[in-house]
Structure 1
Amino acid sequence: MKNNLLVWQLLTLVAVAIPSVYLACVWAELPAQVPSHLDTNGQVNGYTSRQNLWLFTLALPLGTALLLTWLPYFDPKRQLDAGNVNFQKLRLAVVGLLSGIACCSVYIGLHPNAASATGIAVLVGGFFVFLGNYLTTVQPNYFVGIRTPWTLESPRVWARTHRAGGILFCLAGLLMVGLALVLPAAWTSRMMLVLILGTALFSYAYSYAAFRQEERLRGTA
């Protein structure tokens, strides 16, 4: 088990390092001002100093990796297990997503006219597919998962919501990747927003509906 954990921890360190290595390799090619923000059509509408890219390539993935390392120790009921392989995979997936977005930021600095929204949508879609599979295995806790007042109140509602939510996250992720590859770049950001908000709203509403159903069943028992 310790060897398995070590593998995932090493992979996480690699994911943390990749954006900074990429930035160091292309540093001399970057202009002094690089794109920092995109509008809803995927067009650049804000710039920043290239020195600030280090915040994206190093501080963000490293800080996230450290946060997820310490997070289980703040769980008062110790239901989030840092020694669990699935949790290590989640940490790698989150850090990998942020590192991928950081690499996209560097790439946009080199190629301001690139269809950056497409790459980001593929990254987010892939993360949603992983997250959907992970949600079906996560146990009740205060930090990770679909945490609503109703899932935290009932283990049965937690299980039902995460089973349905996991399927939806997978489908939304696959749809996001597929649409990102065929839609015009100008539509990609809007498509991502609709799928992300729709998935979140459905999961929230489903947890409430499941809780009310549980209450009715208890009332008739």
Structure 2
Amino acid sequence: MAIGLLSGTVLVTAALYTRLPELIPTHFDARGVANGWMHRSLGAWMLPSIAVVSWVIIRLGARVLPSDWKERLAASPTAVMGALTVGLLCSLQAVILYAALEHPPNVGASLGFVLGAFWCAIGLMMPKMRRNPWIGIRTAWTLSSDENWARTHRFAGYAFILGGLVAIIAAGLGCTPLAVAAIIVSSLVATIYSFILARRLPPSA
């Protein structure tokens, strides 16, 4: 799936490349208004390149870990997480191409929807992650306790899905800053929850 998304994104980008302006928007503020540009020779290929590197790191990077961590990752949905990350970056590439070709006042709704959908999907995967130092909410408290990891990621699943849904709704209402805030807050809440658990759980948990 990830390879298909990458291939499709590269092909579409290549097909549209000659139609792109010399400078294309590659950075947007909280309202989705472009505030950073790059030459198309770099900007057009930045996200596809990051997507490839991200997929390789998520799927193959764990090989450098000790065997016990590898076993935990093998029991985790790393392939799905890799595909979701690629899907996010390819979707953002589509938003950039749209912004470069159509010159809308802002792309806040598109960005909010993409980020919200990604966050909901990540939320569905959170409870399935096993304790590891590679993917997930990796705090000192989650990494030192299976119980803390499991309960934090169960909580994070609900928090991320709620944050993602709020982001999608906010994007639809034209309130992109709220969409971004919902995602940031849901992430922070999950991290704080792991700290609270660490203070409540017995040392051996």
TM-score (norm 2): 0.90
1:112 equivalent in structure 2? 103
1:5 equivalent in structure 2? none
1:22 equivalent in structure 2? 12
Q: List alignment gaps of at least 5 residues for structure 1.
A: 1-10
Secondary structure class of the residue paired with 1:139? coil
Amino acid at match of 1:202: V
Q: Over residues 114-147 of structure 1, what are the superposed CA-to-partner deviations in whole Å (9 max), with x where a residue is unaligned?
A: 5312112111111111111111111100111111
What is the total number of aligned residue pairs between the two structures?
Answer: 203
Could you tell me whether the CA contact under 8 Å between 1:22 and 1:103 is conserved in 2? Answer: no
Q: 1:206 to 1:94 in 2, by over 3 A?
A: same
Which of 182, 188, 194 aligns to 1:207? It is: 194
Q: Over residues 62-102 of structure 1, what are the superposed CA-to-partner deviations in whole Å (9 max), with x where a residue is unaligned?
A: 111111221221222214435x5822111111111011111
Amino acid at match of 1:81: L
Could you tell me whether the CA contact under 8 Å between 1:20 and 1:57 is conserved in 2? Answer: no
Which of 196, 201, 213 aligns to 2:183? It is: 196
Secondary structure class of the residue paired with 2:134? coil
Q: 1:157 to 1:81 in 2, by over 3 A?
A: closer
Q: 1:29 to 1:216 in 2, by over 3 A?
A: closer
2:38 equivalent in structure 1? 48
1:149 equivalent in structure 2? 140
Could you tell me whether the CA contact under 8 Å between 2:26 and 2:34 is conserved in 1? Answer: yes
2:88 equivalent in structure 1? 97
2:165 equivalent in structure 1? 174
2:126 equivalent in structure 1? 135
Q: 1:57 to 1:212 in 2, by over 3 A?
A: closer
Could you tell me whether the CA contact under 8 Å between 2:27 and 2:35 is conserved in 1? Answer: yes
- Of 85-94 and 172-181, more deviation after overlay is shown by 85-94
Give the deviation of 1:39 after TM superposition.
2.7
Secondary structure class of the residue paired with 2:77? helix
- Of 84-93 and 166-175, more deviation after overlay is shown by 84-93
Q: 1:57 to 1:40 in 2, by over 3 A?
A: closer
Q: Percent identity?
A: 24
- Of 196-205 and 109-118, more deviation after overlay is shown by 109-118
**Whose radius of gyration is greater, 1 or 2?**
1
Q: Hey, what's the Cα distance between the residues in 2 that align with 1:118 and 1:207?
A: 32
The CA RMSD over aligned residues, in Å, is: 2.0
Could you tell me whether the CA contact under 8 Å between 2:22 and 2:39 is conserved in 1? Answer: yes
